[in-house]
Amino acid sequence: MSVDAVQTALGTEHAALWTYGMVSAFLGNQAAAVAEGANAHRARRDATERWLRDKSATPNPPAAAYLPPAPVSDGPSALAALVAVEQDTCAAWRGVLERTDDAALRTTALEALTTAAVRATRWRKAAGTTPASITLPGVASG
C-alpha cells in the first residue's frame, strides 16, 4: 500500500525535475533558486528510488515529457508551472503520510511535503500571487 503511494510520489518528483529543467530558460534572473529546487528534487528522486529498491519494488521510470497545466512561454507561465508541480508534489507526499506507519518514511514524507510547500510559496511570492501562502499544502482546495 505504501509502495504504491511512494511510486506516485516518485512520479511527481520525476515531473518536478523535468519541469525545473524546462522552465530554466525562462527564469534566468532566478537561476540560483531554480537550481536549488532542481537539486532538491533530484536528491529526493534518488532517495525515493533507493527506498523502493530496498522494498524489492522496481521504481517507475520517468515519462518522456510532462504536460504543464498551461503552456509555458515566458516568465509568469514558467512560475505557474513550478507552483503547479510543487503543489502536485505536496499532494503526493501527503498521500504517503496517510498510508504508512513506518516512522522513517513518515519523516521523509513530511520533510518532502514541507519543503515543497515552502518552494511553492516562494514561487507564488515571485509571481505576485495573493495569498502567497498555502493554507493546507497537499489538499486540492488548500
Binding site for another protein (CB under 8 A): 90, 94-95, 97-101, 103, 106-107, 109-110, 113-114, 116-118, 120-122, 125, 130-139, 142
In this structure, the dihedral spanned by the alpha carbons of residues 123, 126, 128 and 134, taken in order and rounded to 10 degrees, is 30
In this structure, the dihedral spanned by the alpha carbons of residues 50, 12, 74 and 119, taken in order and rounded to 10 degrees, is -80
Query: For residues 34 and 126, is the Cβ–Cβ distance under 8 A?
Result: no
Residue 72 or 92 with smaller CB distance to another protein: 92
Residue 57 or 110 with smaller CB distance to another protein: 110
Could you tell me the three cell numbers for 92?
Answer: 503526493
The Cβ of residue 69 has, within 10 Å, a number of other Cβ atoms equal to 13
Q: How far is the CB of 118 from another protein (least distance, A)?
A: 5
Residue 63 or 133 with smaller CB distance to another protein: 133
Q: How far is the CB of 110 from another protein (least distance, A)?
A: 5
Q: How far is the CB of 14 from another protein (least distance, A)?
A: 21
